[in-house]
């Protein structure tokens, strides 16, 4: 089914919270907290991420990924003069592992190749998407306690 990208709107906040929570549920469930405490923690973390993105990536192209008119994910890309930075890509659980992320990344890689710009991202060390990035030609450029920084040079 074809994907559509549309600009982020303020009324997407609840969807973005659900999307964010879906990426952290397994990690949070291990804490053994009651549901209400999990949600409160996730909302606090989501709001912190939202503020960080607004401060650090205010010029990023923030899009909602839709399939058949329903939101299924987010794509946030910061295009700068010397590089392109994939700030965030996330899909709801039912849409992961189906090639959607790879398709979107492929388009972004093609854009970067045409413009002769490196594509950069960071990924949490335990995120399984790291394998996808490596298959697509990204190389680790540095790392810290939580993240690998990766880059795909233009072909």
Q: Which two structure tokens, joined as six digits, stand for 142?
A: 């540095």
Q: pLDDT digit string (tens) for 19-69?
A: 999 999 888 888 999 999 999 999 999 999 999 999 999 999 999 999 999
Q: How confident is the model at residue 120 (pLDDT cuts 50, 70, 90)?
A: very high
Distances, alpha carbon 55 to alpha carbons 10, 52, 81, 126, 139, in Å: 16, 5, 19, 26, 27
Reported as type and span, the H/E element at residue 115 is helix 100-115
Q: How many domains does the chain have?
A: 1
Per-residue burial over 62-79, b if 16 or more Cβ lie within 10 Å, else e, is bbbbebeeebbbbbbbbe
Question: Using CA atoms, how far apart are residues 93 and 144, in angstroms rounded to an integer?
Answer: 27
pLDDT value at 74 more than 90: yes
Vertex 134: Cα angle to 4 and 150 (nearest 5): 85
Task: Determine the structural domain holding residue 130 and report its residue range.
Answer: 3-152
CB under 8 Å to 153, separation ≥6 — which residues?
A: 118, 139
CATH code of 62's domain: 3.40.630.30
pTM as predicted: 0.92
Q: Which two structure tokens, joined as six digits, stand for 36?
A: 């209400």
Bridge partners of residue 149, in order along the sequence: 122, 142
């Amino acid at each position: 089914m074809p994907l559509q990208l549309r600009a982020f709107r303020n009324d997407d906040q609840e969807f973005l919270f659900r999307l964010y929570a879906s990426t952290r549920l397994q990690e949070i469930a291990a804490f053994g907290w009651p549901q209400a405490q999990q949600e409160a923690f996730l909302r606090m973390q989501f709001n912190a991420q939202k503020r960080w993105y607004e401060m650090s990536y205010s010029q990023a192209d923030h899009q909602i990924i839709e399939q058949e008119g329903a939101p299924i994910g987010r794509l946030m890309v910061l295009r700068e003069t010397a590089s392109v930075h994939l700030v965030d890509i996330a899909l709801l659980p039912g849409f992961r592992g189906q090639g959607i992320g790879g398709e979107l990344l492929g388009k972004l890689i093609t854009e970067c190749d045409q413009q002769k710009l490196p594509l950069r991202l960071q990924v949490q060390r335990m995120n399984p998407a790291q394998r996808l990035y490596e298959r697509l030609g990204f190389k680790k450029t540095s790392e810290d306690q939580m993240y690998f920084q990766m880059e795909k040079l233009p072909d």
